[in-house]
Amino acid sequence: MVDFDALNAIIAPEAEAMGLALVRVAFFGGDSDPTLQVMAERPDTRQLTIDDCADLSRRISDRLDALEEAGKDPIEGAYRLEVSSPGIDRPLTRPADFADWAGHEAKIALKEKREGRQRFNGTLVGIDGDTVTISDKEGVEHKLPFDAIDTAKLVLTDRLIAATVPLSMEGADDMEEEGQD
């Protein structure tokens, strides 16, 4: 089992030293393809460049390698490190995410059933204290404790795409689709 508190304590300072905010640390893939996934973003743009990903990946790798050499490796066995931006249909992992993305469609899955349901889809209303509110397609508001949320993510919509401005479109006109002559 991976100790996520320990991993966050190792990884967050590396991201913060680069001026980045840590969005999520996850471990998946089981025995066949164990992967440590780190998502981060620039707080001002909510995006991450390829160079940011490479730099953060090197910082995290160096830190984890040093811990392994000291006999304090937080992850047993081999694994793959994946550093990325959260993307447009991003996971919502921090209380601020539920405030920042209010008005957008989201999917929320709870750790246990509540109100007879475990999954809620609709428009994020926001967060008040530790209570997240989501309004379903019938307009019914569901108030969910933040700590009860297992996973939450934005739903890709035209409105979300319009609200997510890329850092740069430089070179986009010069790109060619593969296979074109």
Token pair for 22: 């840590």
Highest mean pLDDT pick, 2-16, 71-85, 135-149: 135-149
Q: Cα separation of 162 and 104, whole Å?
A: 11
pTM above 0.85, yes or no: no
How, if at all, do strands 35-41 and 80-84 pair?
Answer: parallel
Predicted confidence at residue 26, as pLDDT, reads 92
**DSSP code for 19:** T
Q: Cα separation of 163 and 88, whole Å?
A: 9
Domain 4-84 sits in which CATH superfamily? RimP-like superfamily, N-terminal (3.30.300.70)
Report how far apart, in Å, the C-alpha atoms of 26 and of each of 5, 34, 168 are: 11, 11, 28
CATH number of the domain located at residue range(s) 95-163 in this protein: 2.30.30.100
Domain residue extents for the chain: 4-84, 95-163
Q: How far is CA 71 from the centre of its chain?
A: 29
Instruction: Judge whether 4-84 and 95-163 match in fold.
Output: no
By the 8 A CB rule, do 136 and 142 touch? yes
Q: Is the pLDDT of residue 168 over 70?
A: no
Q: Any bridge partners for residue 144, and if so which?
A: 132
Q: Is the pLDDT of residue 170 over 60?
A: no
Query: Is residue 41 within a helix (H) or strand (E), and if so which, with residue range?
Result: strand 35-41
pLDDT tens figures, 70-123: 999 888 888 999 999 999 999 999 999 999 999 999 999 999 998 899 999 999
65 three-class SS:
helix
Predicted confidence at residue 178, as pLDDT, reads 46
By the 8 A CB rule, do 108 and 132 touch? yes
pLDDT tens figures, 22-70: 999 999 888 888 999 999 999 988 889 999 999 999 999 999 999 999 9
